[in-house]
Amino acid sequence: MFFFDSTFFLLILPALALSMFAQYRVKSAYNKYSTVRSAKGYRGVDVARELLQSSGVYDVRVEPTHGMLTDHYDPRSRVVRLSEGVYNSSSLAALGIAAHEVGHAVQHNVGYVPLGLRSALVPVSGFGSKLAMPLIFIGLLLAEGAGSIGLVLAQVGILLYCAAVVFTLITLPVEFNASARAIELLSENRFLTADEVSPTKRVLNAAALTYVAATITAIMSLIRLILIVNRRR
C-alpha cells in the first residue's frame, strides 16, 4: 500500500516522533521561561525596537499579532510581529523570541544570502508542495495501466517535492543564524544578565529543533517517495 508500506514505518514514523518531541520541547521551554521575568524588566516590544535601532535598522516597525508563538518577521512589509505573549511580556522567553525576529530583520538589512534564497524559494516551494503529492499519487495509479506516462508524472511530482525539501534545508542556517544574532544582540545591549543568557538560549534552541525535525521529515519523505516510484519501474 502507498500510505502504510514498510517505508512508512521505517522512515516516516521516526521522523514524526522527532517532530512531536520537538513540539513538546518548544512548548515546554516556552511555558517554563515565559513565567521567568528578566531582571531588568524590559518588554518584548521594547527590546525589539531598541535592538533594531542599535543594529542600524530604522525602517522596520514592531507590531502585535494574535495567537501563541505566531511571532515572525515580514520582509515584504518590513514588520516584526510579536505574539500576545511576547509583545507586552518581560519574560526571558519573550526577550529571546523578540530578539530572534529582530535577527531576521537584521539578516534582511545586511543582505544575508540564505535569507534571500529562502525568500526566493517561497513561491516555488509552495507551488511544489501543493502539486507534488497529487502528481505522484496520480502517476502511481496510472503506472498500473499507462506505464511510462504515469511514471513520468510521478517523477515530475518528486522534482516538485524537491523544492520543498531545499526550502527546509535553507531554512536551517537562516533560523540558527537569527538565534545566534539574538543572543549576541541581547548580550551586547545588556538586556540580559550573565545568568539569564543560558535560559534564553534554551528557548531558542528548542525552537530550532522544530526546524531540524521538519527538515528530517522532508528528507525522509523524499527518500520514501523515490523508493516507491522506483519500485514501479
Q: What residues act catalytically? A: 101
d(CA 224, CA 16): 14
Angle of helix 148-188 relative to helix 194-231, nearest 10 degrees, comes to 170
Cα 145 → chain centroid? 40
Label residue 47 left, alpha or beta by phi (over 0 means left) and psi (-120 to 50 means alpha): alpha
Question: Which residues, including other chains, have CB under 8 Å from residue 84's CB and lie 6 or more apart?
Answer: 64, 65, 66, 67, 68
Classify burial at 40, counting beta carbons within 10 Å of its beta carbon; exposed 0-12, middle 13-18, buried 19 or more.
Answer: middle
Backbone angles phi, psi at 49, to 5 degrees: -65, -40
Report DSSP state, residue 61: E
Which residues in the chain belong to E strands, given as ranges? 61-65, 72-74, 79-83
